[in-house]
Chain A
Amino acid sequence: SQQGEEDPQALSIQEGENATMNCSYKTSINNLQWYRQNSGRGLVHLILIRSNEREKHSGRLRVTLDTSKKSSSLLITASRAADTASYFCATDAEGQNFVFGPGTRLSVLP
């Protein structure tokens, strides 16, 4: 797998359900970030989690980081149709730049 690879590639859920996306990476990191991208738009920064943190919350978002497994998860609780977007994780393993994974395409059905 490449550095920062999301799983699953695509996810469809009903409104109100929780959505969980995972990110795996290969080499040690200092930070990991999650971004959202609506179709045809730029990326919006959601959360940055540092390597010494295990969990972070922001509203309906919960991010976990397990450095021993080199993985992170993004949980969106009580999903809404407006959460429909692509979600990317980005890692800083290559120094001063963040490397993005191919993304998870989330569809929240009304």
Chain B
Amino acid sequence: NAGVMQNPRHLVRRRGQEARLRCSPMKGHSHVYWYRQLPEEGLKFMVYLQKENIIDESGMPKERFSAEFPKEGPSILRIQQVVRGDSAAYFCASSPEVSVFYGYTFGSGTRLTVV
């Protein structure tokens, strides 16, 4: 496992479609974080998950957005009925334990374009 793997790298969706973004954390990492980055801006926290649990979703929009990190398989960030304002880069990061003691390892991101 070379690091945090995100796919796809680029995703184009029409307004109203669903977008599914996948993140496989580094081997041995059980904590996953999703961030969104608008052009020329910093990263905004969305959600923090551990296996089968959502720990903190305070940064998630109340509607259309959901996230999961199942016992088996990657973490999924799902955006239903996408709108143009959802166009952004979505980054996943992982850490071996609670991240306040460790740095994050980031994936390369998924760039979502809504047309």
Residues of A within 8 A of B (CB): 30-31, 33, 35, 40-45, 48, 88, 92, 94-103
Tell me, yes or no, whether B42 is within 8 Å of chain A by CB.
Answer: yes
Q: Are the CB atoms of A96 and B99 closer together than 8 Å? A: yes
Cα–Cα, bound, A103→B106 (Å): 16
In Å, the complex CA distance between A100 and B102 comes to: 15
Chain B residues within an 8 Å CB radius of A44:
106
Q: How large is the interface on B (under 10, 10 to 19, 20 to 34, 35 or more residues)?
A: 20 to 34
Q: A42-B106, A44-B106, A45-B103 are in contact. Are A96 and B55 (CB under 8 A)?
A: yes
| Cα-based distance from A44 to B4 in the complex (angstroms) | 12
List 7 additional A-B contacts (Cβ < 8 Å) besides A44-B106, A92-B99, A97-B48. Answer: A33-B103, A42-B106, A48-B103, A98-B99, A102-B42, A103-B41, A103-B42
